[in-house]
Structure 1
């Protein structure tokens, strides 16, 4: 949590389920960023949440109250037990009290003057003996879900959200089950369920201060399900639902651990800034049912963002980088490689960077294998801000679907086009279509229907490889130094690097807190590093045939990726690391010269992978270190004056240091590969799925030794929803070249023939 207050930047740290408050503290950073001070107060347990209380002129952050002089008071965990998640203005006594909510549905009211605590709903973690129970007689909540996130008051209600599920063990593996809740409270009793979905942020135009006109100002809530992002609007006592696309699926776990605290916050500009599912969004302060225009995608990111604010001339972002536990994010491709100590930090960026990081991409549905009632409109789905617009439609029977648009965001819908469909079809929405929202309705009831959008923009964010990467080893490099990397534990604030070159071991180096790389020989540390961070064998995980790369996940499923012949052999330093966590609860996958974002298995796993950048570099290892991203694999003859490269004190080794989101500027994702390459293909046997999502200009080459029909099927959702996209009739010896429409996207593509033949199907992404 980060808040500017009293001419300082205040921060609370957060760790996993800790109840005693001993591991997390309050920090203050000087106005010129020259120093950081750890406060002596112990405070509460795993605290987040923040509210500026105008009447008393105090910042409430976590379990601390800070006045305008910077004086701190704390609320002991013994008086307010639970994992504090959010703070809101009081419904009936806003001048003198505030509400505190916990991650396990607890609710307190706190006197802003005395810090006396009253318990309104018991925290789900706290089970005192009855004889020593300070809250005897206060009931626990029966609200479904857990892992609370947001809290906000207005229009006579206190609105609360959670984004997890702890009663159903399937939540640990299946992102599709019911999870989470949006709830309300009116002063007595338990939370009342509004909607059974995973929700995070709850806020309004008043942001951290609370709404200025609480009786009339709207309340917004952010959530999601398997289909898409859900934006709820509470206005004049009524809830309205909208849907937005997801950039990343890494946040989708049903247990709720993958998301942290997406926010909508004031950053001192005309519009608010929103983070959700890996995208920065511009969010209008005036958002309402009659004025819903103005939500705009800015750029995608890889960091996991817990909070952010404007501080001086920068955006200060609190991040959750590599954790010291793997939690559920485990797979054979990376071995057992949890960081010895969590490596999160702040990230300061210029406001102009918010729309210059990763390319805009959005995927999501209004229907996903759902029953649809006749003439019942879907939720509105955002298409403004996206130039490329593809809509995949699936019905279980012949249907007439009407596409309706809201051009001005005023809730006035007009019919745009009727589409007749029987089975599957994809539809291109013109980039010149001036519409904010799209919705669909069917003339007849349907037993099962899907309407899935793939959205994006032209890839102008991808430029030739940035000069900040100059010095990283390329395929032609000969004097290369690489080695394994591991951040150290016990607050050492150091990173171990086992430097090697083509002749073998150079030495054990330590990157210290001053960002100096020093040769510090230590045989025990060397062996410990190589034992603890050994790169797993690729056997049974990654194969390469004459056509493309084949990845086998932990369930034995096969997936194909583009292949680069330059990575067929291990080279002088051996194969580089394939997979590692560098942002919590997801992995960075480095395969054949391309970095990919790889969700945890509980969030879809490899079927939801997406490319980040194609670099074609000789990267040996990578990891998080104190919020930074570190790469090994340096061409010692090409370092020059690159400030991102740190050279060792003996001049024999070096590391690249930057931010994980620098990876977008390595290069546009491109690649070539095949599912069959002059291979004997049996009738009716599908090829392996080949990755399609996240690539720009796509083309296809098909050839066959016999007359045959080759059908191309696409997975439109990443969940195994396969449908025939196009059929190609080939004559013996004929080649067919096909260029995919620029707006067309799907997650995966596969092929099948109606005749036994020798076939080639090659895909080129440019």
Structure 2
């Protein structure tokens, strides 16, 4: 009997012992064994290898504004990865400085299929994002580098071709030997691909600035600028000596100069036939391509696509058989919008393998059919939104690879040096990040002519679709809504909308309606707004990220929590960690640590004196009984509450509120919810009125940061174990969570409740504070007053329309509670209320 028991127990004990050893081994491997390796020559890193992967990110592939092995940063306040290309089975990429037309320390990188990265020793840096494969010579052209079929790299010297190279295109007159290079300042070069001899054709032939796109199709070179120069009172880079020295403004333009300027004339889309230029449209445009992409073919007659935007919408222009057509799409985010064009580098339309193409613009991924033409407009569908700032993407080695512009130090005191990395994953993963929700307008307080067709607006693929109409005149107008069901230019009448003088109305589409495009026709001339909200009905539940974020302490968690303040180092590649606790309403620093770049270990002592910036805390929010109050410089806004305990457990000054997490993009952590904060200019106050909620996390997140291409969160439970996402110090008193920036959607959809009033004394006809509605799902309102009154609910339907519109007036009796459920699919940006008499009122919104 004993032998039988022994036979059972012995292997069980052995198994338990092995399991324990394996657990210990896993923890050791996490902190010690999986060390990235690198080779050094003359103090510069030449090769890097590693296999640590977290949320699709390989930390050893991080790029910097330099290649020094000691990690000491000197110059260059940005290092986005500007271009990706597959060549010879390898992945080639270039990173870029913010404004270095004469070169910099940035590099050309070559990655093999085992993710070993070689840094090209002859790199000359600069601000490049151009790439094209020249078919006849069988060479990859990427930035100033020319790479043959054997991998030999030649470099076009900066002295021969100054500029911030953004596009390379086939030559119109000698395509077998020559190509065009276009740069941000508008210079157009031609280069011999054999000799690399350079000829500058034009210094600055077009209005607008911040050149972006260039592509040859249908016998034309099409060029795009996505911003406007400081002339006409517009904003440009500060202290830009190179530009002020070389920019000649109108004197060098090669177009008719009449009617060039106007309030919406920003950037340009233009044609060049080899001799003359022609303005297609004065709007901000970025990428230009055909279905062949960087593998440009001789005599391409394919439809050509150009992406741009204005205040109203994303603009998709199509050149098909020599004629231009215009299509409008929604914006998921307003980060890209400012007229200077700095924040749009570089949206693309590219192949992602398996016969699919993808479009990325204004924070939204779209399925993009390679068959898209003026005759066949079907197939553009939203995939979802993202926070990552993506200059390029490519299908390589069986995965989609996203380039990123991650950590800059332009107006960002919480990072010591710029850095960016890649993301590797699948097409399906991209569709599982942010919601397929976007916003735009067909008309925006716009003079419309009788019976003139509007541009067509994409409505296909969105769950919820609503159009807000506002008549800005003192005469009635009828508007006919038409839909293109199949994308074949056969239009069907959907409905007539009658708008009385000065009135507002809205129309919610039936969810079962299948159609590609919407257009509008006014019966009489008028001034009208038609603002479109397209929202996702399948927002993430918090359960989706429960396991991923299980190590982070919930707001009501009573155990010990490892808090920290974080800083991306300037004097080495490490992350500075001021470890501590939050007690009695204060952050108490307990240890100074660094988390190492190559070992992923905690080590004692912070060596970077600039890291002390991490301890400086700024708060922009407070709380009353009604809601969270966001205090901007010249106004205040109100946001929903998730949990009333936030201000008690993590009071003002204990948790980081606002931080740049992607270059020129800020995130706010307010009351248990993350919000995206669009900027107008780096270093200035965000455009809070354009904010959108990302996710409600409900955690004790005390700081958040991007480092090594990863999102880093502090606020980990002391008892949490090490894992792929959680790294713990040997004594267990320091721990951090690591993942990708778009992982935070998995915390779950934004939720909350509150309002502008709660038992508040309200003055007659005085508008309440604005209260956020963008991005929330199921919405209901409860109203209560202490005397008979009429309460009018006003909504903000477009970020570029200053005044709200009247949604509905509610008549209430004294002491009565009135409940209003908003229709399914209803969406607005902000709400305000007013009462027709002095009273005490509550207006309580519940977003579930």
Shared topology, TM-score over 0.5? yes
In structure 2, what is the equivalent of residue 132 of structure 1? none
Deviation of 1:687 (Å): 0.6
Give matches, 1:29-108, under 5 Å. 29-33=111-115, 35-43=116-124, 45-108=126-189
Cross-structure match for 1:291? 376
Which of 348, 351, 370 aligns to 2:424? It is 348
Q: Deviations over 1:347-402 (max 9, x none)?
A: 11222212111111010001001110000011000000011000000112310100
After TM superposition, give the deviation of residue 212 of structure 1 in Å.
Answer: 5.7
CA distance in structure 1 between the aligned counterparts of 2:499 and 2:269, rounded to whole angstroms: 35
Between the aligned partners of 1:367 and 1:583, the Cα distance in structure 2 is: 32
Question: Is 1:198 equivalent to 2:280 in the alignment?
Answer: no
Contact 1:251 1:277 in 2 (8 A): yes
Please name the residue that 1:325 is paired with. 410
The DSSP-based 3-state class of the residue aligned with 1:640 is coil
Q: Give the Cα separation in 2 of the matches to 1:171 and 1:182.
A: 20
Q: Distance in 2 between matches of 1:648 and 1:213?
A: 61
Q: What SS does the corresponding residue of 2:392 show, helix, strand or coil?
A: strand
Q: Residue 484 of structure 1 contacts residue 529 of structure 1 at CA under 8 Å; is this kept in 2?
A: no
- Other-structure match for 1:271: 356
Going from structure 1 to structure 2, the CA distance change for 1:195 and 1:715 (only over 3 Å counts) comes to same
**Residue matched to 1:363:** 439
- For 1:208 and 1:244, locate their aligned partners in 2 and report how far apart those are by CA, in whole Å: 24
Residue 463 of structure 1: how far off its partner (Å): 4.6
How far has the Cα of 1:660 moved from its partner?
0.7
**3-state secondary structure, aligned to 1:661:** helix
Cα distance in 2, alignment partners of residues 75 and 686 from structure 1: 61
CA distance in 2, matches of 1:347, 1:10: 14
**After superposition, what is the alpha-carbon deviation per residue over 1:10-42, rounded to whole angstroms, capped at 9, x for unaligned?**
010011011221222111011221x11110123
Tell me by how many angstroms 1:171 deviates.
Answer: 4.0
Map 1:103-118 to 2 at 5 A.
103-118=184-199
Shift, 1:682, TM fit: 0.8
Cα deviations across residues 495-518 of structure 1 (Å, max 9, x unaligned)? 000000257433111111125232
Correspondence for 1:566: 645
| TM-superposed deviation, 1:211 | 4.5
Q: Deviations over 1:273-318 (max 9, x none)?
A: 1100001111000100110000010011000000010111211111
Q: Does the 8 Å CA contact 2:594/2:605 hold for their aligned counterparts?
A: no
Q: CA deviation at 1:642?
A: 3.3
Aligned to 1:500: 580
Q: Does 1:373 align with 2:449?
A: yes
* Change over 3 Å in CA distance of 1:505–1:267 after alignment to 2: same
Aligned partner of residue 13 in structure 1, secondary structure: strand
Aligned with 1:592 (options 662, 666, 671): 671
- Name the counterpart of 2:659: 580
Q: Check whether the contact 2:369–2:380 (CA below 8 A) recurs between aligned residues.
A: yes
Q: Quick one: distance in 1 between partners of 2:752 and 2:673?
A: 9
Change (3 A) 1:159 1:571: closer
Secondary structure of the residue aligned to 2:548 is: helix
Cα distance in 1 between the residues matched to 2:835 and 2:611:
50
Alignment of 1:331-480 (within 5 A): 337-395=413-471, 396=473, 397-422=475-500, 423-446=503-526, 448-464=527-543, 465-474=545-554, 475-480=556-561
What residue in structure 2 maps to residue 180 of structure 1? Answer: 267
How many angstroms apart in 2 are the aligned matches of 1:264 and 1:700? 42
Q: Is the 8 A contact 2:134 2:295 kept in 1?
A: yes
CA distance in 2, matches of 1:371, 1:30: 56
Provide the C-alpha distance between the structure 1 equivalents of 2:174 and 2:740, rounded to a whole number of angstroms: 45
Q: TM-score scaled to structure 1, two decimals?
A: 0.92
Is this contact kept in 1: 2:224–2:287, CA < 8 A? Answer: yes
Q: 1:612 aligns with which of 679, 686, 694?
A: 694
Are 2:202 and 1:121 equivalent residues in the alignment? yes
**How many residues are treated as equivalent by the alignment?**
727
Do 1:718 and 1:748's aligned partners in 2 also have CA atoms closer than 8 Å? no
Q: 2:228 aligns with which of 165, 178, 183?
A: 165
Q: Deviations over 1:67-109 (max 9, x none)?
A: 1111101100111111110101111222211111111111111
Q: 2:601 aligns with which of 491, 494, 517?
A: 517
In structure 2, distance between residues paired with 1:374 and 1:701: 42
Mapped pair 1:634 → 2:720: no
Q: In 1, distance between residues paired with 2:753 and 2:161?
A: 58
Mapped to 2, the partners of 1:572 and 1:508 lie a distance apart of: 23
Aligned pair 1:689/2:773, yes or no? Answer: no
User: 2:652, 2:478 → 1: CA distance?
Assistant: 60
TM-score, normalised relative to structure 2: 0.83
CA distance in 2, matches of 1:679, 1:113: 76
Contact 2:539 2:748 in 1 (8 A): no
Contact 2:638/2:755 (CA < 8 Å) preserved in 1? no
Paired with 1:64 and 1:499, the residues of 2 have a C-alpha distance of 45
| Separation in 2, partners of 1:213, 1:293 | 26
Name structure 2 gaps, 5 residues minimum.
1-82, 238-261
Q: Assess, with a 3 A threshold, how the Cα gap between structure 1 residues 262 and 462 changes in structure 2: closer, same or farther.
A: farther
Aligned partner of residue 454 in structure 1, secondary structure: strand
Q: 1:8 aligns with which of 80, 85, 90?
A: 90
Report the equivalent of 1:133: none
Q: Is the 8 A contact 1:587 1:598 kept in 2?
A: yes
| 596-605 or 279-288, which deviates more | 596-605
Q: CA deviation at 1:668?
A: 1.4
| Partner residue, 1:332 | none
Distance 1:614 1:16 in 2: 33
* Residue in structure 1 matched with residue 303 of structure 2 by the alignment: 218
Shift of 1:457: 2.0
The equivalent of 1:312 in structure 2 is 397
Q: CA deviation at 1:248?
A: 0.6
CA 1:365–1:681: 2 relative to 1, 3 Å: same
Aligned-pair Cα RMSD in Å: 1.9
Does residue 553 of the first structure (1) align with residue 632 of the second (2)? yes
Partner of 1:129: none
Look up the SS of the partner of 2:754 in the other structure.
strand
Q: Structure 1: how far apart are the matches of 2:518 and 2:652? A: 53
**Residues 337, 580 of structure 1: 8 Å contact kept:** no
Shift of 1:529: 2.8
Cα deviation 1:169-196 (Å, max 9, x = unaligned): 44469x985321111111125x432111
Match of 1:134 in 2: none
- 2:224 pairs with 1:144: no
CA distances 1:464-515 after superposition (whole Å, capped 9, x unpaired): 133111111112132011121000114x211000000257433111111125
1:356–1:461 contact (8 Å) kept in structure 2: no
Equivalent-residue separation in structure 2 for 1:663 and 1:176 (angstroms)? 38
Once the two structures are superposed, residues 667-713 of structure 1 have per-residue CA deviations (whole angstroms, 9 ceiling, x without a partner) of 11100112111111110111100000000000001001100010000
Q: Secondary structure at the match of 2:413?
A: coil
Helix, strand or coil for the counterpart of 1:569? Answer: helix
SS where residue 246 of structure 1 aligns?
coil
Name the SS of the counterpart of 1:353 in structure 2. Answer: helix
In the other structure, the counterpart of 1:718 is 799
